[in-house]
A and B are shown apart, each in its own frame.
Chain A
């Protein structure tokens, strides 16, 4: 899934995924590594557009009450 964004020139390699997976204790096969490397590479443009936002006025508040009138 890339959610319609253009592909990035950057790529995530299987060995990088293996390092991350070891860090987070995610059990991956060799096949998983290739698939996840491709999937994460597809995600890079989507990650980039969020990281590029000016979020300085927006703390990571989890509002459990969706009201607009408080």
Chain B
């Protein structure tokens, strides 16, 4: 198999099979991906750095190993993007910021080392919001609608995966930064349980809320990436000691008997547009038809998740950047700089209140899962599709609820960061304007496997995830 268009459209699992069987090579996959990058980058600007020679060298080494019978597994020879707040030895790591211009880490983040050990090809560094804060406007553009928000803060990761300029990518998620770009770009994104995946070598946004996770085109691919990433890391003090299972082992066991909760009052609040509401109800209905039990629940503590998360995140982010802000303040984007300064004015007592409110929330969530014997909660990932960039911080015109689109976007994602629970976004349809819609599953800590089971069962019944953005890169080049 050498046709580059066919190669870039393979999923990771399909490409892995082609590599293992000798139907293609890692060099062919990497060259096809680099060709795709050359076509797409002038328009979408998903990448911050492209170490092309190193990627091809990795691919040649992978081919030699596979030919010698040393096949490492399903990521061996697969081109993967890495969010540019994650350390990559000898490859620029600039965090989408002039503050970090030219910074060359002298070691790999644990997740990069693990991908390397799995034989993956590091195809490039994907563009984030500045320091993953989500307040500036990165140069990346959405192939679904060039003037719309491409998602963030794992902006380039989401776009690269959807335009086929990476087979998968690493993202980070402090309040939704994997799941939001996954939803906007019609791909699958998982925020694992806090501590499941090492954050060593990842520039922090908020130590107690940050997560690293995979972004892929299919649910199975996501599980395969998590298999490579998960596990205890003694270099990360927040790393959990739980053993990581094979996340793909039970992925096709279906949803029969699983109990999936929904808090309609909260997750289908008036800010949810009709197309998203209908798509979410359709997912729920289909899962019920497949044998899942749908449980109506109410968790009032959801209501305070934005205030709680913002309090903790702003204080921690400002603490991390405090010295750098004084030394290189003029190099920050003005929006990021202003938000960091504001965070410095949050009193320590209020930060502590935020931590206590988080504990209150976690306690309520734990009791809910226990009392209702829940396996997962379901919601839309976002109440609305990708808004226009020009509307992002303006009050929503479609309904009088006192929210900007940016505030709406994070309505459903914050809670999993506060709880440390795993949460997954996967495609479930399109709006009448052709923009992707995603749904979110939130599970018990360290039970990512059940989320994959549910999402895989739904994915098998649909082709949403195979649909690509209408932008014609061939005509543009």
The chain A residues found within 8 Å of chain B, CB to CB, are 1, 3-6, 17, 20-21, 24-28, 32, 35-36, 39-40, 46-47, 49-51, 53, 55, 57-68
Q: Please tell me if B299 contacts chain A, counting CB pairs below 8 Å.
A: no
Comparing B16-24, B159-167, B355-363, B459-467, the segment that makes contact with chain A is B355-363
Whether B359 lies near A68 (C-beta < 8 A) is: no
Closest-CB distance, A56 to chain B (whole angstroms): 9
Chain A residues within 8 Å of B355, by CB: 60-62
Closest to A23 in B: B345
A65–B350 Cα gap in the complex (Å)?
A: 23
Q: How far is the CA of A64 from the CA of B421 in the complex (A)?
A: 12
**In the complex, how many residues of chain B place their beta carbon closer than 8 angstroms to a beta carbon of chain A?**
47
Chain A's nearest CB lies how many Å from the CB of B443?
Answer: 11
Q: A20-B345, A59-B356 are in contact. Are A65 and B195 (CB under 8 A)?
A: yes
| A3 x B306 contact (CB < 8 A) | yes
> What residues on B are CB-neighbors of A60 within 8 Å?
352, 355-356, 359
* A36 touching B341, Cβ below 8 Å: yes
Given the interface contacts A55-B357, A61-B355, does A68 sit within 8 Å of B304 by beta carbon?
A: no
Option from B352, B357, B407, B445 in Cβ contact (under 8 Å) with A66 = B445
Question: Closest approach, in angstroms, between the C-beta of B404 and any C-beta of chain A?
Answer: 8
Task: Give Cα A24–Cα B350 distance, bound, in whole angstroms.
Answer: 15
Complex contact B402–A50 (CB within 8 A) = no
The 8 closest A-B pairs by CB, nearest first: A66-B420, A60-B355, A55-B356, A66-B194, A58-B359, A3-B306, A46-B307, A66-B445
Q: Which residue of B lies closest to A3 (CB)?
A: B306
**What residues of B have a CB within 8 angstroms of the CB of A17 in the complex?**
345
Flag if A65 contacts B304 (CB, 8 Å): no
0/1 per residue, B356-390, Cβ < 8 Å to A?
11011011001001100000000000000000000
Tell whether, in the assembled complex, residue B369 and residue A50 are in contact, meaning their CB atoms are under 8 Å apart: no
Task: Determine if A27 and B306 form an interchain contact, defined as CB atoms under 8 angstroms apart.
Answer: no
Name the contact of B195 in the complex, choosing from A3, A40, A64 (C-beta under 8 A): A64
Q: Is the CB of B341 within 8 A of A68?
A: no
Contact B366 A50 (CB under 8 A): no
8 A/B residue pairs, CB under 8 Å, sorted by A? A5-B307, A26-B341, A28-B341, A35-B338, A47-B311, A55-B356, A66-B445, A67-B445
Residues of A close to B308: CB separation below 8 A? 50
Interface string of B327-340 (1 = CB under 8 A from A): 00100000000100
A contact patch SS: loop
Q: Which residues of A contact B402 (CB under 8 A)?
A: 4, 6
Q: Does B324 contact A (CB under 8 A)?
A: no
> A25 to chain B: closest CB distance in Å?
8
Is B266 close to A, CB under 8 A?
A: no
Question: Which positions 311-354 of chain B face chain A at CB distance < 8 Å?
Answer: 311, 326, 329, 338, 341-342, 344-345, 350, 352-354
- Hey, which chain B residues are within 8 Å of A68, CB to CB? 366, 369-370, 444-445
Least distance between A36 CB and chain B CB atoms (Å): 6
Could you say which of A3, A17, A32, A55 has the most chain B C-beta atoms within 10 Å of its C-beta?
A3
B11 at the interface (CB under 8 A from A): no
A67 to B356, CA, bound (A): 18
The docked-state distance in angstroms from the alpha carbon of A61 to that of B359 is: 7
B241 & A65 in contact (Cβ 8 Å cutoff): yes
B131 within 8 A of A: no
B345 touches A40 (CB 8 A): yes
Which residues of B lie under 8 Å from residue A59 when comparing CB positions?
356, 359
The one of A3, A20, A50, A65 that contacts B357, using a Cβ cutoff of 8 Å: A50
Of B241, B304, B403, the residue contacting A50 (CB under 8 A) is: B304
How far apart sit A58 and B311, CA to CA, in the bound complex (Å)? 17
